[in-house]
Amino acid sequence: MATPEVKKEEQLNVESLTCCDLTWVNIDSPTRRESEYLAQHFPFHPLNLDDLLSRLSRPKMDEYKDHLFIVLHFPFWNREQQAIISSELNIFIGENYVVTVDCTGNLKTLAKFFKVCQSDEESQRENFSQGSAYLLYRIIDRLVDCCLPILNKIGDKIEGIEDVIFLERRPAILRDISILRREVIAFRRIIWPIRAVIGSLEPKVHRFSKTDLAVYFGDMVDHLDKIWDGLDEYKEVVEGLHATRDSLAANRLNDILRVLTIVATIATTLTVIVSFYGMNIPIPGSWEAPGGSHLTLRFVLLAIGVATGGMLFYFYRKHWI
């Protein structure tokens, strides 16, 4: 095996590793200087180099005579924003080189894989000896596998919400469900487009491979399909949790309104009784009648008790309480 050659360009976020006549150039958070460096050392189209400095909203693949330009997006969990964001990866692949450009600087798995290839001769031999297409597969496959922990984290959050959604004193549950729905939507928006690009990648990179990679890329597409199926399931579960929460909230509100309505009905009836005997007109049992002070109090209390008991009995018979 040829001795690997490692280079780090001064004052540039550019690292390169050459082994087995194959060069991997890795760029982290590119600026105009890194774009100019690539223009000097590789025959890349100027429009593709401009794409390195601008965020592309959708993955794509541009095919040229001697190389391919690939744009992929992968999910990244941002701890500060507490949200899933899209991390863009631009890739140039030719006969004897692979150039990876981490536009956001969030793909730590990519940087870690590059460091492993630098320090481990066995990894160099395994990843570089079968051509640039196989190295591309190894890079993308690692990034796809890193989607699984994020998917598992969403699954854990769903299980946590399922455990507490029926607890009455949990006012933050709606916010938790809304955040979870946002994460699932963001994840789906990232995964859906790259499935098509990666699915059509193997026939395009076949010319850069020393072996048949159809099985490898097919396995990677299967992983993406499993991730997508998991997101579909989580989407339905989150929507079900949201509907369940709304139903529980509506039932609790109905219970509160039912109690308040009963209280208001009884209070209105009692107010009528008290107001009737509070009028300054001579009526039987009023304050103006002989012994009225004691008779009125007893009569009013009796009327209040009878009215309250009668209404409660009626509500009970109607199964309103």
The 10s digit of each residue's pLDDT in 265-278 is: 888 877 777 776 66
Q: What angle do CA 139, 142, 143 make, to 5 degrees?
A: 90
Q: Is 46 helix (H, G, I), strand (E, B) or coil?
A: helix
Q: Does the pLDDT at position 182 exceed 70?
A: yes
Give 1's pLDDT tier (boundaries 50, 70, 90). Answer: very low
Q: How many beta carbons lie within 10 A of that of residue 45, not counting itself? A: 14
- Helices marked H in the chain — which ranges? 32-41, 46-51, 108-119, 121-128, 132-145, 147-164, 173-199, 201-205, 214-277, 292-317
Average pLDDT over all residues of the chain: 84
Q: What pLDDT is attached to residue 279?
A: 61
- pTM, full prediction: 0.76
pLDDT of residue 67: 92
State the fold for domain 258-317: Methane Monooxygenase Hydroxylase; Chain G, domain 1 (1.20.58)
Q: What is the mean pLDDT of residues 25-51?
A: 90
pLDDT tens digits, 117-126: 988 888 888 8
DSSP code string of 58-72: S-EEEE-SSEEEEEE
Q: How far is CA 61 from CA 17, 37, 123, 142, in A?
A: 24, 22, 28, 19
Tell me if 5-249 shares its fold with 258-317: no
CA atoms of 256 and 262, how far apart (whole Å) = 10
Domain extent listing, the chain: 5-249, 258-317
Residues 6+ apart with CB under 8 A from 198: 72, 140, 144, 217, 220, 221, 224
Query: What CATH architecture is 5-249?
Result: 2-Layer Sandwich (3.30)
> Residue range 255-270: average pLDDT?
82
Q: Which residues contact 150 (CB under 8 A, 6 or more apart)?
A: 75, 77, 84, 187
- Residue 233 DSSP SS3: helix
Q: Is 79 helix (H, G, I), strand (E, B) or coil?
A: coil
